[in-house]
């Protein structure tokens, strides 16, 4: 199955490659809770709904591809620009290797792409802060009032 989202962000494939890394995925996508150091297979990622898996990133035409090699559904997604269907936007394309699946899995896959789209639209042109495991702390604004 495949899913698309389109982030209203004007950029280049080089900027996508420079800005979106495995380490800062939690900054751009609230469905990704944490990324930790390598183990025997690769980097470890914690998805909000699916738990712990490994993740890999590779450079592709137009941007980057992320894959989850130990996912039983072979989940992968790309973050690209400069090509159809919307060369002026960031195109998010997710796939997994099934023609049908449980509605809950389909919904969480769509939620992953939607959260990534929203995160890119809200944060792509900002510098990622040092990402911390969730929950995020709320900034104390009282000092700024005085």
Q: Decide if pLDDT at 35 tops 90.
A: no
Residue 34 lies in a domain: no
Structurally, the chain folds into a number of domains equal to 1
Burial class (CB in 10 A: 0-12, 13-18, 19+), 93: middle
What is the pLDDT, as a whole number, of residue 139?
44
Please indicate, yes or no, if residue 142 is contained in any of the structural domains.
no
Whole-number pLDDT of residue 131: 44
Does a structural domain hold residue 30?
A: no
Domain extent, residue 101, equals: 2-21+56-126
Instruction: Tell whether 102 is covered by a domain.
Output: yes
Q: How many CA atoms lie within 13 A of 93 on its CB side?
A: 14
pLDDT, tens digit, for every residue of 39-57? Answer: 666 677 777 777 788 888 9
The answer to whether position 48 is within a domain reads: no
Look at residue 128 in the predicted model and tell me its pLDDT. 53
- Max CA distance (Å), the chain: 58
**Where does the pLDDT of residue 71 fall: very low under 50, low under 70, confident under 90, or very high at 90 and above?**
confident
pTM higher than 0.85: no
Inside any domain, residue 27: no
- Residue 144, in any domain of the structure: no
Q: Cα separation of 135 and 90, whole Å?
A: 28
pLDDT at 25 over 70: yes
C-alpha pair distances (Å), 14 with each of 20, 63, 110: 10, 7, 26
Whether residue 75 lies inside any domain: the answer is yes
Rounded Cα–Cα distance for residues 100 and 86 (Å): 27
- Note the pLDDT tens digit of each residue in 78-135: 999 999 999 999 999 999 998 988 898 899 899 999 999 999 999 988 755 444 444 4
């Amino acid at each position: 199955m495949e899913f698309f989202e389109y982030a209203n962000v004007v950029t280049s494939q080089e900027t996508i490659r420079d800005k979106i890394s495995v380490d800062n995925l939690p900054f751009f996508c609230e469905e990704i809770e944490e990324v930790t150091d390598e183990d025997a297979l690769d980097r470890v990622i914690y998805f909000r709904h699916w738990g712990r898996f490994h993740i890999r990133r590779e450079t592709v035409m137009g941007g980057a591809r992320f894959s989850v090699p130990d996912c039983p559904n072979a989940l992968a997604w790309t973050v690209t620009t400069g090509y159809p269907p919307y060369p002026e936007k960031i195109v998010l394309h997710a796939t997994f290797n099934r023609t049908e699946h449980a509605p809950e899995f389909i919904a969480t896959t769509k939620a992953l792409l939607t959260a990534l789209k929203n995160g890119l639209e809200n944060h792509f042109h900002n510098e990622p802060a040092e990402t911390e495991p969730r929950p995020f702390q709320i900034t104390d604004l009282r000092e700024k009032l005085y």
